[in-house]
Amino acid sequence: MHKIKSTLLIGFTLVCGLTMAANAQEEIFFIGEELGVGARAMSMGGAYVGVADDYSAMYWNPAGLGQLRRMEVNVGFSHNKFVNNAAFLGVNSKAEDTFTRLNSIGITIPVPTYQGSLVFGVGYNKVLDFDNRFKIYGDNDNWAYYQTWFNNTYFDFENEDGSFYFQETDINNNMFQEQSITEKGSENHFSFAGSMEVQENFFLGATVNFISGKNDYYMEFSETDKYELYNTVDTVFDTLYNEFNDIIVDTTMYYNNLDYWLFDQRVETKLSAVNLKIGALYRFGNTLRLGASIITPTTFKMTETFTENATEYLDNDEIITGDPITNKIEYKVKEPYAFHFGASLKLLNFLFSAGAEFKDWSNAQFLTDPSYGNESQMQINNRLEEDFKAVTKLRFGAEMYIPLIRAKVRAGYFTDPSPYRYTNIRPDKEYLTAGASLMLDKQVMVDLGYMIGKWKKETVDALTSNPDPSLYYTPVSENVTLQKIVGTLSIRF
């Protein structure tokens, strides 16, 4: 078994790894789906800034905590189903996965006051999921194997006398490709919140969020000589000397007996941050409520650990493997201010709510050099300012109370527009929501929420496309469906 020098995989990284990293410069702000906390709020499309009268208020609008008159204990779980139908080279493939996690756990505690209200809350909330699945396969005439395993190296193998020999191949087409990607993880908030009624029906509140999370990305790619077109090995002697008349290269091995070539890459990203959400809410009797909140700019500390491996399996059972390449980088990014507005209207047994969230992504920045490619920190931030735009999410929800069975049914809708000004790297997204709740007794409430989002996107990968953009590229069309079920148990004392 041969063992190849580390410079080989470094050459590969220049072709493929940095292509992914260049996209990650921008995508790092938008990985995953932030769908919120609490089955009731989520089933109303997240239009909850103007409602916010339970534990989940510490996420949606902390001022709303002041409406609680009894202690509340909250426990919630979520179940995600992610389905990706991809079309590649005329072949349709399907990848799906499910993830069940704790969504929230915490407590709110009202403090007795002479007038008004004072309520504190503490809890753990999973607010964002990184779940993703992807799988494609098909016959492709691209250069992945040739370019990454051969064309980007100079001296491949070292002989015992210190000289080197080349390894080459003529394999550059008619290969069967397979690629799969699994991505999972979450962003979690450990939150402390408080709210007070500063004057009758006017509440102010704030939440301090200690943010942590991890995103685990794993990609596996293979090219196979499916049709047994390459099964020979040729040796050519062509001695090359250096200035001291020492032999540098005296042999070139043409490996054309490939069985299959395997490459895998893992990127583990850990994040941490602290931010502050400040909210206000005003009640016009029992009919109308208006709410607003602001999230301070959030500085995320990112730690990314890369690991890459490649192995070549030949028809004669020979295995050529590379030294694993690992790299670790740390950098900081800053998300801009976020402004949330909401209103709710209660009419008889019905509650209607609406909301909007505004964020100007052109103010996003890298605060330190991320060490990606050849771009400096200033160049990246200039590009972010040009590429990003301000976006507004719109949210709508409704709830109906059924007295006979002491239950409530809900429905909602919200938009999640792309922040990209010129490209469709991230598509516009829409979600439909629904849910119901049932009071088991005067103290115990069970809420269920359901959300479904669908979107389409087209991606181009350096492994499955020709590295020379003047020739051709092979896009992958993806149809993604994300379904989320949330169940919450609330106990009030």
Q: How far is CA 232 from CA 143, 176, 253, 308, 436, in A?
A: 19, 19, 11, 28, 66
Residue type, 427: P
Would you state the pLDDT for residue 139? 84
Q: Encode the chain (493 residues) as per-residue pLDDT tens digits.
A: 343 333 333 333 333 443 344 445 677 888 889 999 999 999 999 999 999 999 999 999 999 999 999 999 999 999 999 999 999 888 999 999 999 999 999 999 999 988 889 999 999 999 999 999 999 988 877 667 666 655 544 445 666 666 666 667 777 677 888 999 999 999 999 999 999 999 999 999 999 999 999 999 999 999 888 888 778 776 666 666 666 666 666 677 666 788 888 999 999 999 999 999 999 999 999 899 999 999 999 999 999 999 998 888 888 888 888 778 899 999 999 999 999 999 999 999 999 999 999 999 999 999 988 766 677 888 889 989 999 999 999 999 999 999 988 899 999 999 999 999 887 778 999 999 999 999 988 899 999 999 999 999 888 777 777 555 555 567 888 999 999 999 999 999 8
How would you class 69 by CB atoms within 10 Å of its CB: exposed for 0-12, middle for 13-18, buried for 19 or more? exposed
Domain that holds residue 248: 2-492
Would you state the pLDDT for residue 372? 62
Residue type, 128: L
- Which residues are paired to 313 by β-bridges? 260, 319
Counted residue by residue, the chain has a size of 493
Read off the CATH number of the domain in which 287 is found. Answer: 2.40.160.60
Would you state the pLDDT for residue 437? 95
How would you class 404 by CB atoms within 10 Å of its CB: exposed for 0-12, middle for 13-18, buried for 19 or more? exposed
Q: To which residue do tokens 């504190």 refer?
A: 120
Q: How many domains does the chain have?
A: 1
DSSP code string of 274-314: EEEEEEEEEEETTTEEEEEEEE--EEEEEEEEEEEEEEEEE
Would you state the pLDDT for residue 165? 64
Identify how many contiguous H helices and E strands the chain contains and give both numbers: 6, 26
- Which residues are paired to 106 by β-bridges? 74, 123
Q: What whole-number distance in Å separates Cα of residue 368 and Cα of residue 366?
A: 6
Give the pTM. Answer: 0.87
